Amino acid sequence: MPSPIAETTPLILASGSKYRAELLARLRLPFVAESSEVDESPQPGEAPATLALRLARAKALAVAARRPGRCVLGSDQVATFDGRLLGKPGSRAAAVAQLEAQSGRTVEFFTAVALVMPAAAVVDHLDRTVVRFRPLSAQEIRRYVDAEPALDCAGAFKCEGLGISLLAAIESQDPTGLIGLPLIAVRELLARAGCPLP
């Protein structure tokens, strides 16, 4: 159910993600979050980067259709590992299995953001982050999953928390992109839209 506050707030985050809301709050702009209810299923043969951009735009457009005259920000993240999409583990066993597979390997994250502005075209940006895991022992993996169960995070880790200890390197232009919302790009998109910024 849309929030009535959204009627007077110029910026809407088209997301139900607490991580994205926490990130956007760093910019100290007034906003409300509203879930888009968009189907996130990939299309046959769809490339990860294309999927992330399509879903970010779809989420922003879905909420903008309900909230005409507002700036709406949509975002989506797609992780890939070993040539396939990597989902959220959802259970302890699946988290352990993901981390065991990723030990000493590389995971790629594509985080897209799209901004729908009143009476203007949609603008978007794609952030790519490469995460390299160091070799992990079974004991390290289980200790991490017990300490910080990242069951709602693709790759089963949180780089902003204890999960950083599992990694050998992160290659990115924007560290917030890996968490779920690339704030450097978001600030640029909002500036282009004429939103007042700190």
Catalytic residue among 39, 76, 82, 146: 76
Average pLDDT over residues 135-159: 95
- The pLDDT-based confidence of 4 (bands split at 50, 70, 90) is very low
Average pLDDT over residues 35-54: 94
User: What confidence score (pLDDT) does residue 5 get?
Assistant: 39
Structure tokens at 191: 């500036």
CA-closest candidate to residue 179, choices 29, 34, 18: 18
- Whether the pLDDT of residue 1 is over 60: the answer is no
- Whether the pLDDT of residue 3 is over 50: the answer is no
Q: Kindly tell me the burial class for residue 90, based on how many C-beta atoms sit within 10 Å of its own C-beta (0-12, 13-18, 19 or more).
A: exposed
CATH pick for 4-192 out of 1.10.10.60, 3.90.950.10, 3.30.70.1400, 3.30.230.70: 3.90.950.10
* DSSP-derived secondary structure letter, 82: T
Average pLDDT over residues 54-82: 95
User: What confidence score (pLDDT) does residue 194 get?
Assistant: 77
Phi then psi for residue 153, to 5 deg, are -125, 125
Q: Note if 146 is an active site residue.
A: no
Q: For residues 27-53, b (16+ Cβ closer than 10 Å) or e, as one string?
A: bebebbbbebebeeeeeeeeebbbbbb
Residue range 16-43, pLDDT digits in tens: 999 999 999 999 999 999 999 999 999 9
